[in-house]
Structure formats: structure tokens, C-alpha cells
Structure 1
Amino acid sequence: MPLRFRSRILDHLAHRNYLPIYAHDIARQLRVGELDDAAYDEAIRQLVFEELIEMGKDDKVRLPRLPEEVEGIIKITPRGAGFLKTDVNYREGDLFIPQGETKDAVSNDRVRVRVVRRGDRTNQGYRPPVGLKQDDNFGRVLEVITRGQTRFAGELTQRGREWIVEPDGRTIRDPIMVRDPHAKNAKAGDKVIVDIITWPENGFLAEGVILEVLGEAGRPDVETQAVIATYMIRQEFPPEALDQASEAAKSFERTTHSANASGSWSDREDLTAKFIFTIDPPDAKDFDDAISITHDAITGNYELGVHIADVAHFVTQDSALDIEASARATSVYLPRYTVPMLPETLSNGVCSLQEGVARFTLSAFIMLDADGKVVGQRLARSVIKSSKRLTYIEAQQLIDGKIDDARKHSKTDPVYSEELLSTLARADTLAKIIRRRRQYDGMIHLDLPVVELVYDTEGHVIDAVPEDQSFTHTLIEMFMVEANEAVARMFAGIETPLLRRIHPDPTFGDIAEVRQFARLAKWRLPEEPTRKDLQALLDATRGLPSSRAIHFSVLRCMSKAVYSPALIGHYALASVHYAHFTSPIRRYPDLLVHRVVHAYVDLTDNGRLSTGGKKRRALTRQMLDDPRTLD
């Protein structure tokens, strides 16, 4: 599949340190294996045909030159100049637009730009714009195609007779004039939302109209609402979506009442008697993952169960509720405030895996040997009843045998059964086995400071403290990664499309910059380092004065993780296959993955049927015909 190489090739060529080389040298720098040669060559042919790359007379690969006119997204600097990020990569990189050539554009606008080349400057007495050399190309904005943003938050102030809004952020640099602030009973010092009706140009300020008065500027709750309004974060759910969520919750209650009476959960594997528990932050509202662990003392094998809230059961595909969740894409977490992706009836209610109540889940069972190697896996539609809710610190104190200390961090009845304590001990052992295996495989571990902000009762930041470093954070991370891998691996095995979370290798140019930092720390990295080489650098510099610079340089060299159906693994996690499966309450891509899992369990008797040989090919055809797979 050439798809998985296209973006990697383009990113490689777009790097500022790239010099034209042959296609086979690019393949070497991208570490393309022999089995992938055909897909790589096809990707090169496609990109040449689409004129996204060029093969010069010397057969070396380059990006094309800028055409006479281009479109893209503009970013305006504090001094009024701009840089254009074009839709397509060109060898010149981002195009500089001098002050005075930006028309009325502001940051994040889509603009059409004329490229002014050295050949355009033949008039006698020509002087290049400030900051440019005589032979530099630059851009001139011809028109604003679409506005990236039209409403802004800011503080209302008075200058003489004029009223202006000092906008928050850096999108628009200069104040915005307002003619009649009293129409909304606004006063100086208020935080307001203003909609621009005339954009800044030729030295004139933008002019706008106040849409909403949020309250006194500087108050934490007001500033939070300003962020929400500025970025047009959807807070209110459409009535139809709320009705559907309410009806889904009522239907669930009727189902659980009936199942409790009959003792049967129909098409679900009944795990309500199994010891399952959650570990979450102390302020968590939605609990979308729970775990179970068993250990066979004879074989040494473990069965890790990762049980995830079955949101797809409640959110019908293409319903008003689904459309709203898709538009939100994710829950938004602000200081002391959350804007959920789903109505709280679901997110904090019937979807949340609360202690002591039946909840519908999708379960990934991963079988691992004593060395943490995966020896089996299965997926199932299930129902669980969480036996215990734990916080991270509470769980860690219990693992460490400090029961009295654990009680100080409990959010539920601080009674701890022997089964809980023994299961936690197994979980701790298994997580460390998995971590050791992943480290051997080349998982990247960065040691960067993480702080937690402390607020007073009104929401003002009063302190910053190091984030809790309990190993239980890593424990849950290791288990969730195993589940995400298991799902992605399952569907790769039956050749079924899946929205994956991919993290491509760092570009050759970015690695070259890490090598420069490594030399400063007197450490030599190979020209094409492996993950293990990078981790050796990180381990060797940990605790040294150069540690923070080195660790940040490795972080900066990493490619951006994105969602894609391409069969690309996750570089930092050393995962061959990876998808997001474990957070469907707060991430829409996980919900899409859950629908594919539902299609799979429907076709395999809840994961019980064999999928080998001819059955696998038949299953693949059925999966490809299922609308949930191609959502």
C-alpha cells in the first residue's frame, strides 16, 4: 500500500536540512524494508505523476518550485509580516510575506498569494521589503478566501471617546473598535465576545460588534468562558441529541432490570461475577476503562482483560447524537471545567464504569506468557460490574503495603479485600514484565518534567507541583497500550480497514538535529539511529545538566501522531499495529473503532468462532460489506 509512504516521503523532502538525493537513498533513510520496496516505488511514481515531487535531470528527488500563485493558511507575526503554509509542500518552504503585503489577512485565514520572484524586480531603483535580500522570493496577498475566525474574546477599554476591545491571544494583533458597547450594557473592564465586521487594512483598525458580555475580565470562570467562545467549542447539545441520550439510558435501565430478573444478558458475555476494577485520577467523572488479571501458576501465563465502556451501544450510527459527537470529536478539558463529547446522561452515567453497577463493555482479552509475549487474544461484547474504584495513589499505596496511607486517597469505602490486594500485586508484576518487554523492543521513554496546577476555591492558580509519579500510571498505560495493539493487530490479521493511530519514524533531517545536541553531550549517535540508540542517549544523559535539552530535542524530532487507515505502526511505542480503542467516552475515533469491533463480534458469535484459513477470507469479505467498517 503506497499510502503509508506518501506522507513520509513528502515530509522527508520538506525538511529544512534536506538536500536532493536519489530515490533509493531516500528509501534507505526512511528504513524501507525489502518487502515494502514495491509499495515505496509505487508511492514515488504516484507523487511524480501528481506533480507533488520532481525527478531532476540528475534523477535526484526534489519538491517542485513555487508556482506563480498559491493558496494556504497565513500566520501573522507580532511585527505585521506573515508566513504562508501552503497546501502543498514546495522546495522553498513557507513563503515570507512582508509587512504591508498581507492585505487585511489575520492569522489562520486562507489566502491566495502571488509569488514575487527576483525576475519581477527589474524596475530601476527597486528596493526589497524590509528584512529581505535582493534575491529573496516573497509573497503578496491577493485575497482572503475564507476567514479562520471571525469572533474574538477580549477586554473592553475606553480610549478617550473611543471604545476598543483588546483581543486575547495572537490571532489578531491590534485592538478592535466598537461603536456602541452600551447596546449590551458592557462597561470598561468587561470580557466580551466581539464579531468583526470590518477587517484591519491600510493602517485602519478592525471594527466589530459586541455579541456577548461574559463578565469581569480576569475572573477564572469568565476567562474559561472566553476560551470556549473564542474557539467556538460546542457546549449545548441539540434537543434531539439529548432526547436520544435520555432514551438510550432508559432503555439500558430496562434491559438491566430484565437481565437481573432473568439472569441472562442475551448476546453479552457475563463478567459481572469476575473481579474487575478501575484506577483513575481522584477527580475523574467518567470511567471508561476497567481491568482484570488472572495468572496460571502452572503455565506461568497471564490473562489481561481490558474492559472498555461500550459507547457504540448507546450512540447509534448517523443519529443526531452521533452527528453531534462527531462534530465535537473529543471532550475538551479546561482548568476545573470539562466540555464533554457526549451528554452527561451517558458520559457520567450509564456509560461510565462505576463501582457496583452493571455496565455494558467491549472486552479485549490478551494472553501473555511469563516474559510478557502475547500468545493469544480475543474480543467480546460483555457486561461487567466493577468491584472497586481506586485512585492512582491509593492503588500504589496498596501495592506498597501501606493500607492506612491508601485510605487517605480513597474516593469510595476504604475497605480492601484480599482478592483486591492479590490482584493488584499481579497487575504490578505483569505491568513491569510488559514494560521490560517494550523497553527491549525499543519503546521511547522521555524524562520531562510534568507539573500539576493547584487552584484556590475561585479557580486562581496558586501553585505548581510535580505530577504524581506513582507506577500505577504506567501500569494502566501498559495495559491500555496492549489493548489498543490487540485490536489493531486483530483487524490487520483479517485484512479489515481500521482507523489507526499511527506515529511515523522521525525524518532524517530531524534526527540530524538530535545528533548535533548529542555531540554537545559528548555522545555519538549513528547517522541512522534506531529507537534503542535514541533510548541509550536518553538513559545516558538522564540526571546530567544536558538532560533537559537532550530529551526535548528527541521530543522535537518525533513526527506527529495522526489518525489514518495506513498500515503504519507507532514509532515511540515500538508498536507494529496500533489504534485508539480505550477512550470512546471522550474520543470519537475510539467510537469508530468500537463499531468495527461490534461488526466483528456479530460475525464471530461474540468472538468465539475460529477465523483461520478459508473462514478468515469469508470473514474479511463480510467485514468489508458491513457499513460499520467503512463509517
Structure 2
Amino acid sequence: MTKSTHFEGLPSRDQILAFIQSSNDPAGKREIAREFGLRGHEKIALKALLKDMTDEGLIDMAPGRAFHKMGGVPKVTVLKIVAIDGNQPVAIPEHWEAEGIPAPKIRVIETKGKRNSALGIGDRILARTEERGNGWAAHVMKKLAKGSEQILGVVEGGENGRFWLKSVDKKSRFDTQIGDVGDAKAGELVLAELTGNAHKKSARVTQVLGDPFAPKSFSLIAIHKFGIPFEMPETVEREAERVRELPVTDDHREDLRHLPIIAIDPRDARDFDDAIWATPNADTGGFDAIVAIADVSYYVRPGSALDHEASKRGNSVYFPDLVVPMLPHALSSDKCSLRAGEDRAVLACHLAIGKTGQVTSWRFTRAVARIAANIPYPDAQAAIDGTMENPLLETALKPLWACWRLLAKARDKRGPLELNLPEKRITLDEQGRV
């Protein structure tokens, strides 16, 4: 549903869009207010209207806090050269966040007195853009330092001191000559940086990874073959470091730190997303229970750099020997991981379970919890079976198992399909072999 933020004297959405598209200069809130003669409370209302338009997907914000039409290109932005059409470079925006809309191909116009033909694939430019006909054109303002284009491959050759890089990507039909082989030797798997222009490219080895058939190399090859984003942008890392300092205890959060809430996970779990607690309810003959999950939304706000990066990745990717997280480690392995003895922001679901095992009511709260323990599944079961001691046996584990038995009894009455299938696991030895 479209929001209706509007005040007398405030321009309409169509008027703002028309101004943003027609302005020769970047149009931020100040420029829009000046164009429509807004003052005082009208500027405050304009800020709310621009936020509504951003939330509705009508406009987006470019670096420098200037706006542009969603699916359009900022007036001044950083472009990356992706092709050479004849003598004319073709570029795309370096950062493109419009979901479902492909990045536009932008013709880079040669500026009189300058030789833009020297631009090569992979070059980065600061450019002023404009719509021309059904497409876009860009005028170079400044050539920027070239971003590192990395390629994973195997070093070949060595005769006459010449080496070639054979990409692990089967789609790559050509080998690249290595200009700087460093300490790499023929047959080794390396990470290299591509340099040069479209007509003559060379590679510079930046990291030697060793034997391409070593078990540890398979994860890296898969990462590069399928284009899994492996490096986290610095802006995202900085934002994660900043938001991790947000306080989790305030008047708006329910305090659950007095409850022995525990997280039960596989022994090799790399992060802890959820935790549970239950206690008998003498009045109903059932149980009161809580399921708490890490409140990631407290740290990752809509429209933030973290939000855009997480949306681009979609999920974390787990390999036997490493994980490529959706969020920086400052969040995924720390603040958004429910580790024992540390205060954590959580979303808590409070469940009332009747004496027949039916969930009779529920409510959701934002809360702060301090996990009593991270317990592996086998250890939790061993404590219940009496073969292992655990200080939380009476206060946490036994009530949880009793609650589970009640729920399981109700579940059995419903006659659900039960599949008891073995879980497939990949286990590595100290050398990384399966």
C-alpha cells in the first residue's frame, strides 16, 4: 500500500521524481527543498516523504546522499569498464542494488583533449552520467585506482622463464600470461590479480595456495567457480564493527537473563542461532516455554550496507573446512551468536502448552538473554540418561525433556509422517582429507 505522507506546500512524488531526473547536478534533500522553496517544518515533512519514496522503491540514495530514480543511475557515480565496443568503453555502475533490474550498460563518451580509449576492462572511473535516448552515457571526471580483479588458477609452463595461468573456471577458454610469478612454481594453485587492458592482460600472483589436489583447495576452487562472494567489503566490515557496540539492555527489551535458557546444537556448530527454556505450569498441568533466536534485525537495518550485502549473498555457505558467512564475523560469529555467559539481543516466542500438549497461546517480544550453556546434542542426551553430569540437569534439561515428551505425545496422536534418515556428514582429518 502506498503511504500518504503529504503536507500543503510539499511537492508530489511525481514532481520530486521529475526534478531528480531533470537536474543536471546531484539532487539531495537540500537541492529538492531549494527547488520547491521549502522551509522549516516543510523540510522535516520532505525528509519523511523521501524516506517513504525510498521504502516504496521509487527512489534510491547514491553516495553523497543524493537521490536518483530506482533503476536509474546517480548523476555522479563510480563506474567499472566491462567491455570495449570498437574504440568506445562500456561501463556499469560499480555498486548496483536495484533488485530484479539488471545493471545498465553505459557508453563512456570520449572527452575532448583526453584519450579515453586508454581505458581497459576492469578500470574504474568517476563519471557524470546522463540519459541519452533509450540508454545512458557517461563523461569521465577522473580515472580511479583499479580494483583488484582476482582469478584462481594453476601455474603452468616455466620454460624460458615464461609462466601461464590456467583458470580453474572451465568456462575460461584462454590462459593468461603471468607477468609476476612471485614464489609460485609450476603446478601450484594460486590467487592472482589481473592487470592490463582488454588487448593485453597479464597476471600477478598474490597468494600461493599450494597443491591444487590438496583437500583444502577444493573449497577455494568451489568458491571461485561459483562466484561465491568471499571477501567482505570494508564498508560492511566497518559498519559491523560499529553496530556490534549497540547496547542490548534498555527499557524496550524484556529481561530474560534470570532464566536458564540453553542452546543445544551439534558438537561442530560454528554459530548458535537459537535457544530454549521450559518450566512446568502448576495451574494448567502443562508447560510455559520460550524459544529465543538471535535478533539480527537489531544490528542489520533496512537499507544499510550490511542489509545490501546480506541480500546480495542470500545465505551463508558452509564447507567442511570453512564457512563463507552472510554477515561479517563480528556479527555472525559474535553478536548474533548465542554464546554462553554473554548478553544477547533476541526475539523470544513465549509459548503456553496445555496438559494435552497443545499450544494454547503465544506472544513475541524483543528481549535480552544470557545463555546459561551451549550444550552439544550427545552431551545433553547423556545428562538425561545419567551417564554424564551436568549442573543444569534439574533446572533446564529435565523440564525441557518433560515438555518435549508432552509435545511428542500430542504429535503422535496426529499421526504425522515420520522419516528416520541418517544425517550425512563430511569429516576431515588433520591433513584436511575426507
Residues 348-367 of structure 1 aligned to structure 2 (within 5 Å): 348-367=333-352
Change (3 A) 1:299 1:190: same
Report the Cα offset of residue 401 of structure 1. 1.2
Give the TM-score taking structure 1 as reference length.
0.39
Residue 272 of structure 1 aligns to which amino acid in structure 2? Answer: R
- Residue number in structure 2 paired with 1:450: 423
Change (3 A) 1:436 1:223: same
Q: Deviations over 1:183-207 (max 9, x none)?
A: 54554322356999xxxxxxxxxxx
- Residue number in structure 1 paired with 2:410: 437
- Residue number in structure 2 paired with 1:191: 189
CA distance in 2: counterparts of 1:151 and 1:179, whole angstroms: 12
Give the TM-score taking structure 2 as reference length.
0.56
CA distance in 1: counterparts of 2:204 and 2:421, whole angstroms: 42
For the pair 1:178 / 2:141, whether they are aligned, the reply is no
Residue 408 of structure 2 aligns to which amino acid in structure 1? Answer: R
Q: Deviations over 1:96-124 (max 9, x none)?
A: xxxxxxxxxxxxxxxxxxxxxxxxxxxxx
Change (3 A) 1:164 1:267: closer
Q: Deviations over 1:76-133 (max 9, x none)?
A: xxxxxxxxxxxxxxxxxxxxxxxxxxxxxxxxxxxxxxxxxxxxxxxxxxxxxxxxxx
Residues 122-521 of structure 1 aligned to structure 2 (within 5 Å): 155-157=154-156, 165=166, 167=168, 172=171, 176-178=173-175, 180-181=177-178, 183-184=180-181, 187-192=185-190, 214-252=209-247, 256=249, 265-403=250-388, 416-417=391-392, 420-441=393-414, 443-461=416-434
CA distance in 2: counterparts of 1:333 and 1:341, whole angstroms: 11
Q: Which runs of 5+ in 1 are unaligned?
A: 1-149, 197-207, 257-264, 405-414, 462-631
Report the Cα offset of residue 224 of structure 1. 2.1
Residue 301 of structure 1 aligns to which amino acid in structure 2? Answer: G
Report the Cα offset of residue 287 of structure 1. 1.6
Report the Cα offset of residue 223 of structure 1. 2.6
SS at match of 1:180: strand
- Residue number in structure 1 paired with 2:106: none
CA distance in 2: counterparts of 1:434 and 1:191, whole angstroms: 53
CA distance in 2: counterparts of 1:164 and 1:390, whole angstroms: 47
Change (3 A) 1:386 1:209: same
- Residue number in structure 2 paired with 1:508: none
More strand by share: 2
CA distance in 1: counterparts of 2:294 and 2:309, whole angstroms: 19
Q: Tell me, yes or no, if the aligned pair for 2:261 and 2:396 is still in contact at 8 Å.
A: no
Residue 249 of structure 1 aligns to which amino acid in structure 2? Answer: R
CA distance in 2: counterparts of 1:366 and 1:349, whole angstroms: 27
Q: Tell me, yes or no, if the aligned pair for 2:320 and 2:427 is still in contact at 8 Å.
A: no
CA distance in 2: counterparts of 1:157 and 1:442, whole angstroms: 62
Residue 189 of structure 1 aligns to which amino acid in structure 2? Answer: G
Cα root mean square deviation, aligned: 3.3
CA distance in 2: counterparts of 1:284 and 1:449, whole angstroms: 18
Change (3 A) 1:247 1:157: closer
Change (3 A) 1:269 1:184: same
Q: Tell me, yes or no, if the aligned pair for 1:156 and 1:187 is still in contact at 8 Å.
A: yes
Q: Deviations over 1:254-284 (max 9, x none)?
A: x64xxxxxxxx30111111122111122233
- Residue number in structure 2 paired with 1:60: none
Report the Cα offset of residue 333 of structure 1. 0.7
CA distance in 2: counterparts of 1:218 and 1:182, whole angstroms: 25
Q: Which runs of 5+ in 2 are unaligned?
A: 1-148, 195-200
Residue 323 of structure 2 aligns to which amino acid in structure 1? Answer: T
Change (3 A) 1:354 1:450: closer
Q: Tell me, yes or no, if the aligned pair for 1:268 and 1:383 is still in contact at 8 Å.
A: yes
Question: What is the percentage of aligned positions where both structures have the same residue?
Answer: 33
SS at match of 2:350: strand
SS at match of 1:455: coil
Report the Cα offset of residue 292 of structure 1. 0.9
CA distance in 2: counterparts of 1:313 and 1:441, whole angstroms: 38
CA distance in 2: counterparts of 1:382 and 1:210, whole angstroms: 52
Report the Cα offset of residue 305 of structure 1. 0.4
319-328 vs 187-196, which moves further: 187-196
Residue 300 of structure 1 aligns to which amino acid in structure 2? Answer: G
Residue 292 of structure 2 aligns to which amino acid in structure 1? Answer: H
CA distance in 1: counterparts of 2:158 and 2:368, whole angstroms: 64
CA distance in 2: counterparts of 1:240 and 1:167, whole angstroms: 29
Report the Cα offset of residue 454 of structure 1. 2.7
- Residue number in structure 1 paired with 2:96: none
Q: Tell me, yes or no, if the aligned pair for 1:288 and 1:351 is still in contact at 8 Å.
A: yes
Change (3 A) 1:244 1:177: closer
CA distance in 2: counterparts of 1:352 and 1:248, whole angstroms: 15
Change (3 A) 1:330 1:339: same
Q: Deviations over 1:443-491 (max 9, x none)?
A: 4332333333332222112xxxxxxxxxxxxxxxxxxxxxxxxxxxxxx
- Residue number in structure 2 paired with 1:606: none
Q: Tell me, yes or no, if the aligned pair for 1:163 and 1:177 is still in contact at 8 Å.
A: no
Report the Cα offset of residue 179 of structure 1. 5.2
SS at match of 1:227: helix
Residues 73-112 of structure 1 aligned to structure 2 (within 5 Å): none
Change (3 A) 1:177 1:324: closer
CA distance in 1: counterparts of 2:345 and 2:190, whole angstroms: 44
CA distance in 2: counterparts of 1:368 and 1:230, whole angstroms: 49
CA distance in 2: counterparts of 1:151 and 1:315, whole angstroms: 28
CA distance in 2: counterparts of 1:190 and 1:323, whole angstroms: 36
CA distance in 1: counterparts of 2:360 and 2:223, whole angstroms: 47
